[in-house]
Chain A
């Protein structure tokens, strides 16, 4: 067991982890943050995407012990005081989710894409979301939503 300290959605956690535990299972099983979903076992689907120290990361590709000291944001930490983040709001406004299983990862990937200034065009968004699979929407409305969120975040800042 290894001692690890993590800050998740602004709350600091001290944990004793087995070295083999993946971050996604630390979040889900140890911290009860089940919003981050697991969709594959090959790091292909991106459903488990979270933001680690400001950058999107598939939480199935990181060990819990690797992120000692990190600041992590999960889907549960995105809305503030009950108000949806602009990306969440745009997903709702443009029907960018159906079953909702890929959605947490897709939203977190989109948030990071926008924050890093990589959502400037439809082509850039499509390329930027290449690591996230959705089987319901055909991505059409996801791309529309991310474009709108990028615009609204851009004009607000």
Chain B
């Protein structure tokens, strides 16, 4: 878009991304592309056992190997840590949080680090790591969250006396009366497979020591600001001595929303050795060393009257923590705690989460975090309830939709805005359900191999993390605000500094759209800076679909402050009342006198020269705003999947995927669609392909990209997307989050479609992922 077009149209326009050029020409600044002179390669020696005691570490051969500079064990470094690795979310007062350090003598999951090797090259470090001989006394492991809670179960941490990490409840029907009074009660049990996030850039860390006891930490992270606070605290450094840089980061999906052992090790060792230290994760290593997601078992109940009015929902959830608590591990279920009623008006509500330790890689927030798990059990059970009531599944949903907004949920939070019927109406229009049902009937009659199914998922979710007071009330350690600075430079350029930290989302483009619209300037004069704590010193980073509804809104508030300061300057210089000035299209005018104007750029120059400012006013035109959202943001929508299932082989293949989402006002429709495409794909992957499996001894069986099936272009269809728009009334941009909606909505739509394709054969449920084997077995089971 050029500046000659309508100036107020950047917001809502499909502006092409300024991020693309460097990424398309191989000029990305990913961490592994940086290798300062003298950099040592770090390789971590990891436990092959899921539960063991290290009895000996013999490193003499490794130390003598070519290029090796040092080998360190847990004992060597124990004085480097001033605290255990941080967990920021002690969800209950009595939550158990066994301390975990970057290297250990008692590994509790396969991949727990026991030693590090530093050498001149990566190949030398890898070779030497093979020479480190570690003696282990291996013990029994427990990997199944249900078995882990049984009496006599193997304990992950014997000194805790239990594998139960915590129990957390939110209950409006403690007596269970509502459920007893319901005409129809449906209870189902669902397994959410454990997932591996698989950002295509593996994690990477480079710590570079400075000259004054300082360190710069480059990390493939979503959270440079939080990382700075917590690495400094864990190492006992002054925060002022640590600069954290998130350069180009190749995807995250929550897997880079953490404080990891390798980040702490690299900083500690760079300080010890006085030389840069780099660690780059190998993919298979990452399968053990980077957080996993999901791994829930949920018993979910819906109660309803005969006419299909839902009166109660109840969820009892067992959630895997893994062996230790990472940054927000115990809080993941809570991120879905308020939405176990979905987009439906349900007066009685109870959820109970039990966090469970197992000898597995720690879990943490993976795309959607808590909300896909909630939406899945609701939307699967809605279909089951419709069956039980012999009601149409779409009509059952529609009948129970929340109709008026704002709406306070039985769970206690208030939905800002929405129009759930509008999304569903549009979905049905696009889908042409009648034709699909006719084809389904035809195929059933023909009794051929390939049957057709249609599945729905009407969802809402809460994102835009988060109001700080609510976070405080649920025991999260930090706030949920974000910060922005807008600085009008003397030559007309505008510098924007954001506290969000993009890793593929396109903030540089979208933030420039917002600022260019608000200040009435050309988008090309707006530069957007982020991801370096020496430039953007204050921020809460990017996760939980928060960047636009929190960071973007902070930006808008900073822009208002800039305009207000400029207004005072113009009023002073023109000797008019500030209220008599109007601002539009980048210039101030006196109301009713449109001929005389001064541009914001001219005011910025004047504020920089500072020759004629009001008494007491500080020179330069810039402002910072820190915005704490008053509410979460509440996107919603209606999705439908159409699948073809081969009843002979069990192969389920998507034929169509149609999605209508309401994410509030849209800044860049192309970026929004891209987020939804990617989100849907990760939901489809959960439904049909992905599952991390351990054997009983805690060995990860799906240990690499060959055995863990990330879908390719070949498995997927093109998507059909539309939007409805309910502006959020809680912020001046009217925006909501979009990063996780697709992942939250998609999995139940797909499984509902697979079950629909096979319902005439008696199939009522299929556990995710619906692999050919599971589908085939479900068909065979139904024949019995």
Q: Report how far A14 CA is from B16 CA in the complex, Å.
A: 40
Q: Note all chain B residues with C-beta closer than 8 A to A153.
A: none
Q: Note all chain A residues with C-beta closer than 8 A to B705.
A: 40, 42, 44-45, 133
Task: Specify which of A34, A35, A79, A133 is in contact with B200 (CB 8 Å cutoff).
Answer: A133
Q: Binary interface profile of B, 6-49, with partner A (CB < 8 Å = 1, else 0)?
A: 00000000001101111111111010110100000000000000
Contact at A42–B681, with CB atoms within 8 Å?
A: no
Task: Specify which of B19, B26, B670, B681 is in contact with A75 (CB 8 Å cutoff).
Answer: B26
Q: How far is the CB of A145 from chain B (nearest CB, A)?
A: 11
Interface: A57 (CB within 8 A): no
Interface: A135 (CB within 8 A): yes
Task: Specify which of B21, B27, B283, B680 is in contact with A45 (CB 8 Å cutoff).
Answer: B283
Q: Binary interface profile of B, 650-691, with partner A (CB < 8 Å = 1, else 0)?
A: 000000000000000000001101100111111000000000
Contact at A99–B250, with CB atoms within 8 Å?
A: yes
Q: Report how far A135 CA is from B315 CA in the complex, Å.
A: 31
Given A35-B25, A36-B26: A138 in contact with B677 (beta carbons within 8 A):
yes
Interface: A149 (CB within 8 A): no
Given A99-B504, A130-B713, A133-B712: A38 in contact with B251 (beta carbons within 8 A):
no
Q: Note all chain A residues with C-beta closer than 8 A to B504.
A: 98-100, 136
Q: Report how far A79 CA is from B678 CA in the complex, Å.
A: 27
Which residues of B (239-256) have their CB < 8 Å from a CB of A? 248-251, 253
Q: What is the chain B residue whose CB lies nearest that of A105? A: B200
Q: Note all chain A residues with C-beta closer than 8 A to B16.
A: 92-93, 95
Contact at A141–B713, with CB atoms within 8 Å?
A: no
Q: How far is the CB of B644 from chain A (nearest CB, A)?
A: 15
Q: What is the chain A residue whose CB lies nearest that of B708? A: A44
Q: Binary interface profile of A, 127-138, with partner B (CB < 8 Å = 1, else 0)?
A: 101111111111
Contact at B28–A138, with CB atoms within 8 Å?
A: no
Contact at A103–B719, with CB atoms within 8 Å?
A: no
Q: Note all chain B residues with C-beta closer than 8 A to A13.
A: none
Contact at A101–B26, with CB atoms within 8 Å?
A: no
Q: How many interface residues does chain A have, given as a range? A: 35 or more
Q: Binary interface profile of A, 35-70, with partner B (CB < 8 Å = 1, else 0)?
A: 111111110110100000000000000000000000
Contact at B671–A95, with CB atoms within 8 Å?
A: yes
Q: Note all chain A residues with C-beta closer than 8 A to B537.
A: none
Q: How far is the CB of B692 from chain A (nearest CB, A)?
A: 16
Q: Report how far A93 CA is from B17 CA in the complex, Å.
A: 9
Interface: A140 (CB within 8 A): yes
Contact at A143–B505, with CB atoms within 8 Å?
A: no
Interface: B490 (CB within 8 A): no
Which residues of B (277-319) have their CB < 8 Å from a CB of A? 280, 282-285
Among A20, A127, A134, max chain B CB count under 10 A is at A134
Interface: A115 (CB within 8 A): no
What total of chain B residues lie within 8 Å of the partner, measured CB to CB? 56
Q: Binary interface profile of A, 76-104, with partner B (CB < 8 Å = 1, else 0)?
A: 10110000100010011101011111111
Among A18, A122, A137, max chain B CB count under 10 A is at A137
Q: What is the chain B residue whose CB lies nearest that of A79? A: B25
Q: How far is the CB of B471 from chain A (nearest CB, A)?
A: 27
Q: What is the chain B residue whose CB lies nearest that of A91? A: B24
Q: Report how far A39 CA is from B237 CA in the complex, Å.
A: 33
Task: Specify which of A18, A44, A99, A138 is in contact with B201 (CB 8 Å cutoff).
Answer: A99
Given A39-B200, A45-B283, A130-B712: A95 in contact with B17 (beta carbons within 8 A):
yes
Q: Note all chain A residues with C-beta closer than 8 A to B285.
A: 41
Contact at A37–B678, with CB atoms within 8 Å?
A: no
Task: Specify which of A38, A75, A136, A141 is in contact with B25 (CB 8 Å cutoff).
Answer: A75
Q: Report how far A31 CA is from B611 CA in the complex, Å.
A: 54
Interface: B95 (CB within 8 A): no
Interface: A125 (CB within 8 A): yes
Q: What is the chain B residue whose CB lies nearest that of A77? A: B26
Contact at B712–A139, with CB atoms within 8 Å?
A: yes
Interface: B473 (CB within 8 A): no
Given A37-B250, A97-B20: A45 in contact with B200 (beta carbons within 8 A):
yes
Interface: A150 (CB within 8 A): no
Q: Report how far A20 CA is from B122 CA in the complex, Å.
A: 13
Q: Report how far A75 CA is from B27 CA in the complex, Å.
A: 9
Q: How far is the CB of B714 from chain A (nearest CB, A)?
A: 4
Q: Note all chain A residues with C-beta closer than 8 A to B186.
A: none
Q: Report how far A133 CA is from B689 CA in the complex, Å.
A: 14
Q: Note all chain A residues with C-beta closer than 8 A to B33.
A: 34
Contact at B23–A39, with CB atoms within 8 Å?
A: no
Q: Note all chain A residues with C-beta closer than 8 A to B35.
A: 29
Given A98-B505, A99-B199, A142-B713: A92 in contact with B20 (beta carbons within 8 A):
yes
Contact at B716–A138, with CB atoms within 8 Å?
A: yes
Among B35, B505, B681, max chain A CB count under 10 A is at B681
Q: Report how far A60 CA is from B250 CA in the complex, Å.
A: 19
Q: How far is the CB of B560 from chain A (nearest CB, A)?
A: 30
Q: Report how far A5 CA is from B719 CA in the complex, Å.
A: 46
Contact at B24–A84, with CB atoms within 8 Å?
A: yes
Interface: A17 (CB within 8 A): no
Contact at A137–B32, with CB atoms within 8 Å?
A: no
Given A47-B200, A97-B23, A98-B505: A42 in contact with B250 (beta carbons within 8 A):
no
Q: Report how far A42 CA is from B27 CA in the complex, Å.
A: 25
Among A34, A93, A139, max chain B CB count under 10 A is at A139
Q: Report how far A140 CA is from B677 CA in the complex, Å.
A: 7
Q: Note all chain A residues with C-beta closer than 8 A to B719.
A: 138, 140
Contact at B200–A74, with CB atoms within 8 Å?
A: no
Interface: A107 (CB within 8 A): yes
Q: How far is the CB of A24 from chain B (nearest CB, A)?
A: 11
Q: What is the chain B residue whose CB lies nearest that of A36? A: B26
Q: What is the chain A residue whose CB lies nearest that of B19? A: A100
Given A132-B712, A138-B716, A142-B713: A100 in contact with B704 (beta carbons within 8 A):
no
Given A40-B283, A98-B505, A135-B198: A130 in contact with B714 (beta carbons within 8 A):
yes
Q: Note all chain A residues with C-beta closer than 8 A to B22.
A: 100
Interface: B710 (CB within 8 A): yes
Of the A-B pairs whose beta carbons lie under 8 Å apart in the complex, a sample of 24, sorted by A's number, is A37-B30, A38-B280, A39-B201, A40-B705, A41-B284, A41-B704, A42-B283, A44-B283, A44-B704, A45-B283, A75-B24, A75-B25, A98-B251, A99-B200, A107-B24, A129-B712, A130-B714, A131-B712, A132-B713, A136-B200, A136-B251, A136-B678, A138-B680, A140-B718
Given contacts A42-B705, A101-B199, 9 further A-B contacts (CB under 8 A): A34-B32, A42-B284, A45-B283, A92-B21, A95-B673, A100-B504, A135-B710, A137-B681, A140-B716
Closest 4 CB pairs of A and B: A35-B26, A101-B250, A100-B23, A99-B504
A residues contacting B by CB (< 8 A) are 18, 20, 29, 33-42, 44-45, 47, 74-76, 78-79, 84, 88, 91-93, 95, 97-104, 107, 122, 125-127, 129-144
